[in-house]
Amino acid sequence: MPELTLRPFAWPDVPAITAIYRHYVETSVATFDLVAPGETLMADKLGHLADLGHPLVVGERGGRVVGYAYASAYRPRPAYRFACEDSVYCAPDAQGQGIGTALLGRVIELGRTFGFRQMLAVITGESAASIRLHERLGFRRVGTYERIGYKFDRWLDTVHMQREL
């Protein structure tokens, strides 16, 4: 198996990132989006993060994008400027290979360098693997919002986790 390479986001990554995210929108509760965004919307979102200099990392194996992760501003109000929220997604056939751990680890490093002081994760309560990933990398549970989202005809909780950078 080719070695995993972590690198900054590049514009040619947009189609692969869009496809990875589409999978989670359409088949899982990992995201509360109900309609998968197209490449233009994803490019706008990723471009905004890149313009701000926020951590935005792509995992590549054998020339193929197998995952991505980023840290974005937690909220727009100035008092929150030192807090960020992470997002990590792996291609469906790349799960369980340590890619998410590598991506999130790199985003944590870059977030600290950027000047963030707290990293937050909002994870669907059913996403046990994501909760374990965050726990392994030093996040602790700080609360749960119960039945806050509705997707696939059921109410879903979110687990809130936090890590000091």
In tens, the pLDDT along 56-76 reads 999 999 999 999 999 999 999
Q: 103 and 6 in contact (C-beta within 8 Å)? A: yes
Give the homologous superfamily in CATH for domain 4-116. Answer: Gcn5-related N-acetyltransferase (GNAT) (3.40.630.30)
Q: How confident is the model at residue 136 (pLDDT cuts 50, 70, 90)?
A: very high
Angle at the Cα of 93 from the Cα atoms of 87 and 97, rounded to 5 degrees: 70
Q: Is the pLDDT of residue 1 over 90?
A: no
* Burial (Cβ within 10 Å: 0-12, 13-18, ≥19) of residue 135: middle
Query: What is the residue extent of each domain of the chain?
Result: 4-116
> Over the chain, what is the mean pLDDT?
97
Question: What are the pLDDT digits (tens) for 67-109?
Answer: 999 999 999 999 999 999 999 999 999 999 999 999 999 999 9
